Amino acid sequence: MRWLQLCLLLVLLPLAACSLSGKTTTYSLEPRTVYTLGGGDTIRVKVYGDETVAGSYRVDDAGTVSMPLIGQLYVSGRTTAQTAAAIAAALANGFVRNPDVAVEIESYRPFFIQGAVKGAGQFPYVSGMTVRAAVSTAGGYSDTANRQRATIYRKVGEQMQKSVVDLDFPIFPGDTIVIAERWL
């Protein structure tokens, strides 16, 4: 009887050590970064005291918006605060004295999901989405899906980055999520 207990202890001890390894998950993508504008986003611009420029503007594929009094303005890769400052600077250049500009995101560009989901495709992004919410938006997993991890492709600067993440990892507009199939 003592031998059985000793053998059981020897088998369970290494398994217990595995669960206490304290290994943290690291990703090549930053889970929290400042959102920058890109093609497909729609921004709402308000200029206090002047309604000529106020309105909604869609960022085109070239990363620009076309606005009255200003014309084409490149906004891709800028935050909303940087875009507001650029609009204010353009308006101050002979059109509006001391412009006070506010920019907010009216609608985000879509995200994409493919692989082992029921309804792969392009979907509207909602602020704060995670991989788990994106899978739900796509109709859930297929029968053969890997339900533990996903691969995200995200454009960072001029480069596309790939990272394998867990289901609670936050996604951004423009991300492409790939759900792999499991083999067992």
* DSSP class per residue in 142-168: -TTB-SSEEEEEEEETTEEEEEEEETT
Q: Where in the chain is the domain with CATH 3.10.560.10?
A: 111-179
Contact 9, 64 (CB under 8 A): no
Q: What is the pLDDT along the chain (184 residues), one digit of tens a residue?
A: 565 555 444 554 454 444 444 444 445 666 657 888 999 999 999 999 888 888 999 999 999 999 988 899 999 999 999 999 999 999 988 778 889 999 999 999 999 999 999 999 999 999 889 999 999 999 999 999 999 999 999 987 778 999 999 999 999 999 999 999 987 6
Closest CA to 43 of 69, 71, 70, 76: 76
Q: Where in the chain is the domain with CATH 3.30.1950.10?
A: 42-107
Does this model's pTM top 0.85? My answer is no
Q: Select the CATH number that applies to the domain covering 42-107 from these four: 3.30.1950.10, 1.10.10.10, 3.30.1330.60, 3.40.50.2300.
A: 3.30.1950.10
Fold of 111-179: Outer membrane lipoprotein wza fold like (3.10.560)
